[in-house]
Each structure stands twice: as C-alpha cells, then as structure tokens.
Amino acid sequence: MRYFRGIAFFFLLTGCYLLSTLAAETPDTIGDQYKVPAEYPPSELGEIVKLGKEIVEQTNVHPLSKDYVGNSLTCSSCHLKAGTDPRAATFLGIATAYPAWSPREKRVITLEDRVLNCFMRSQNGMRPPLGSKVSTAITAYITWLSSGNAIRMNHEKPLGPNHVRPLKIKPELANVQRGATLYVNQCADCHGDEGTGTEEGPPVWGEKSFNTGAGLSHNDKLAAWLKVAMPPDDTNLSEQDALDIAAYINSHERPRFILKEHLPAVERLGTYDWQEK
C-alpha cells in the first residue's frame, strides 16, 4: 500500500507518541535540534548500539528478538527509518523524557520498560527480560539517538519532545464507509485487500498485526500517525482522510490484549546472562 508501509503500534507505542508539553518544536524544526549522531560510540558500546539498530529494523526475524514477537511487525513498522524519521513516531530525543510517569501503569517507568511494553502490545508478543541483550541493545540505540540533548523528564506521560501531535478533528467524526473506499483505492496495494499485508507493507489488522493494547488500536492515535507518516516521504492525507482510514482499519478484528498472557514467568522477568539467546 502507498499509505501504510511500515504501520504498527506506537508505543509504542503503542506506542510511541511524544508529549507536546515537553517542547515547542514543530515537525518542520525538529531537524534543527534533533539529529542522528555523526558517529557511533567507540568499542563495545558502539557495537551494542549498532545491534540495537539491527533489532529495530528486523525485530520479527532477528535471532535475539524473534522469539518475543507474536506478529509480522518490526519496531520500524511504526518508528519509520529505524526511528530516525523526524515526524513518524521518531526516536530522536525520546530518551531525554525518561524516567517518566506512566498513567497506564500508574508508576514511573524507564525507557527500557517502555521498549519492553511494545513487545507485549504493538508486537503482540512476550515481554523480554529486563537487562537482556535485546532489551539493552534497543535501549542503547534509542538513547544514542538522543545524544547531546538536554534531559527533560516527563511528569505527565512517557512521551518525548517530538511526539506525534493529536489531530484537531474529533474522533467521533470518523466515517468508516468512506474509510473503506479510501483504503481500497490508496492502501490495499501495499497492505492487501484483506489487511493481511504484502511484501510492500505489513498487516494492519488480523492475527499478524498489533493487538488491542497497542496505541494504534485507538482511532485518534492511528489517525494522527497516518497524517504524518503515510505515504512515506510524501505525506498528503487530510485529517478527515486519516481518521476515516484509521476507523476502517480498526473496525476489523485483531488480537485481544490480556496482560498476563504477555508476561514471562517470574524467574524470567530479569536476567544478567547475555550468553542466552
């Protein structure tokens, strides 16, 4: 599909939306302050950062992360260009917001917590152990992308300075029928008529897509992401178009999120053994 290449959660997630109260930057000025560092860190740290980028781009097939993924999505499905796209759920600057208060968890969470929660929600998988190599590598990569930026911990939400801004249009104005037409005409080429994905784009609903715990399962969040992310490098959706398409996508079945089904056994919640795969 031309409009949904790389779709998934935000959240980070699920995710993956970066709070407006933390910065006055607009999408057009993000690049002036938040840039991909020119060089990787030296020695082993640099190798771990590089590994994190690999996992972000190949999450569902990478040997270290594939066992924790329950669908066909990668981190880059939502965080375009391995999180370096300045508008589409970017990783640029996001590490500066952590530790942060999380209304969902009702506690302060770390960046590592946020990353691992996306495995449970946007990737419909199992939460990797704290301190595991996959967890550390992804977190190191995201932190590297915040190099040189001032820490501005977020006391309201676990979101960073370059978040996807909410749309002005009200979610209840969504037109699912119109969204269906838009999807067929503009999205199905890449994501399939049945939303199951193609070689060009991942599934947007069904068992291989993000679950109901992901941020993108909410019409307003998915629509805001579509508005700035699709089609990649040539965004042109109106707010109404984005909302209607989001409503149509989310009118379909997807895996139901049940927290206990995505948590490892107690003895696997944390690990210090990097030898295990």
pLDDT in tens, the chain (277 residues): 444 444 433 333 334 433 333 333 444 445 567 899 999 999 999 999 999 999 999 999 999 999 999 999 999 999 999 999 998 999 999 999 999 999 998 999 999 999 999 999 999 999 999 999 999 999 999 999 999 999 999 999 988 888 899 999 999 999 999 999 999 998 999 999 999 999 889 999 999 999 999 999 999 999 999 999 998 888 889 999 999 999 999 999 999 999 999 998 888 788 765 654 4
pLDDT, residue 31, reads 53
Q: Taking the model in full, what pTM does it have?
A: 0.82
Q: What does the alpha-carbon distance between residue 272 and residue 270 come to, in Å, rounded to a whole number?
A: 7
pLDDT, residue 275, reads 54
Q: In angstroms, what is the C-alpha Rg of the chain? A: 18
Using CA of residue 21, residue 27, residue 28, residue 29, what is the dihedral sign?
A: positive
Q: What is the DSSP letter of 204?
A: S
Q: Residue 239 in contact with residue 227, Cβ under 8 Å?
A: yes
What are the contacts of 51-59 at 24+ separation with CB within 8 A? 51/133, 51/137, 51/141, 52/137, 52/138, 52/139, 52/140, 52/141, 52/142, 52/144, 53/82, 53/141, 55/134, 55/137, 55/138, 55/141, 56/82, 56/83, 56/138, 56/141, 57/82, 59/123
